[in-house]
Amino acid sequence: MEMAQYVAQIQSFTALALGLMIGLGAIGACIGIGIMGSKFLEAAARQPELIPTLQGRMFLLAGLIDAAFLIGVALAMFFAFANPLLASLSG
Amino acid sequence: MAAQGEAAGTSTEYINHHLTHFKVGEGFWTWHVDTIFMSVLLGAVAIWMFWSASRKATSGVPGKWQAFVEIVVEFVDTQVKEVFHLDRRFLAPLALTIFVWVFLMNAMDLLPLDLPGIVASWFGIHYWRVVPTADLNTTFAMSLTVFAIVIFYSLKAKGVGGYVHELFTAPFGSNPLLWIPNFVLNLVELLAKPVSLAMRLFGNMYAGELVFMLIALLGASWAGFTIGSSLGMLGQVVMGAAWAIFHILIITLQAFIFMVLTIVYTAMATEHH
């Protein structure tokens, strides 16, 4: 194969992988945040006096849930702009 | 097509330029001077902030600055008090340091994207990444320090023998057949802590930085007063503002999470099974 074809193949597979990484990560994070948010609202409606305590923990968990997704996004972005898999072709 | 390819080339160059550290040295001994300089500078800023408040502290009516510092200190102290029930004269200041320092380092993300590069170019430096926490070296240095403190507290609470005993017998039981599975499980649990702590902070900051760069590319495609260019510029302003506001939440949250997890891990280390 021509070099251009190798590059195109790697780039197309990387692009697909990026879509999967960000998309699937987003699905998971959104479901997680959704479940947690609904439970928080339920709990807040039942016992409004607990809101300050629960709010702090909710934000903590929101950060934890988001983190895995954002790590995925960071990795995906890294592959989008400095694809290390292409390096073996130039070497 | 040619013009598009060229534009893609320059935008990749732009982003790569912004992702390159100012390095000194080679191989293992590569120093990221920008990361070290910024983190030390921000640490000094944090110390100065709290020192200036404590120097002028009064027991009477506090000024605005003193009130703010008191709120922060009290907030962190409450967080520590809720989770950690032993003597917290070491852990509470540690948590406060982590919170303020990580927050300041994260807050560098809110500076205009090209500003640090421009300032650095006055001194003849081409690369300058301004967010120290978007560098794995910083986050791993912090998380490994926390890891060492966790191990220290484990040893202090249980003694060397007690800790080793716990490592080999903790979740399943003390049957000699279960020593190996216990130990493997504990090892994974132990190592997952610093890795997840560092990767979480790094991932958030790196992704945030990259999204700012991508938004900046919208305005960088400016080619005179055409509809496309104007839309790009408008998009940059609107999306940049929206992401920056959302990012204020993220930087605070990540500093908070790093602090809380440090406290939680240390508290877990002092508990007996």
Find the range with the poorest average confidence among A32-46, B121-135, B222-236: B222-236
Here the tokens at position B32 are 């990221």
Q: Please tell me the predicted confidence (pLDDT) of residue B213.
A: 86
- Could you tell me if residue B64 is inside a domain? yes
Would residue B1 count as lying in a domain?
no
pLDDT tier at B6, thresholds 50, 70, 90:
very low
Q: How does pLDDT run across A48-82, given as a tens digit for each residue?
A: 998 888 888 888 888 888 888 888 888 888 788 77
Q: Which residue of chain A comes nearest to B204, CA vs CA?
A: A70
Flag whether B240 is in a domain.
yes
Contact B257 A63 (CB under 8 A): yes
CATH superfamily to which A17-82 belongs: F1F0 ATP synthase subunit C (1.20.20.10)
- B3 occurs within a structural domain: no
In a domain, B210, yes or no: yes
Q: Which of A54, A65, A66 to mutate to test the interface with B (most CBs of B within 10 A)?
A: A66
B2, part of any domain? no
pLDDT 10s digits, B125-153:
888 888 889 888 899 999 999 999 999 99
C-beta separation of B255 from B106 below 8 A: yes
In degrees and rounded to multiples of 5, residue B32 shows phi and psi of -90, 95
Answer yes or no: do A81 and B257 touch at CB < 8 A: no
pLDDT tens-digit map of B185-200: 888 988 988 998 998 8
* Residues 6+ away with beta carbon under 8 Å from A10: A83, A85, A86, A89
Count of the separate structural domains present in chain B: 1
φ, ψ for residue B23, nearest 5 deg: -105, 145
pTM of this prediction exceeds 0.80 = yes
Rounded to 5 degrees, what angle do the CA atoms B236, B240, B243 make?
145
Choose from B80, B102, B106, B260 for mutation: most chain A CBs within 10 A.
B260
Residues of B in contact with A29 (CB under 8 A): none
Q: Is residue B62 part of a domain?
A: yes
Structural domain harbouring B140: 10-270
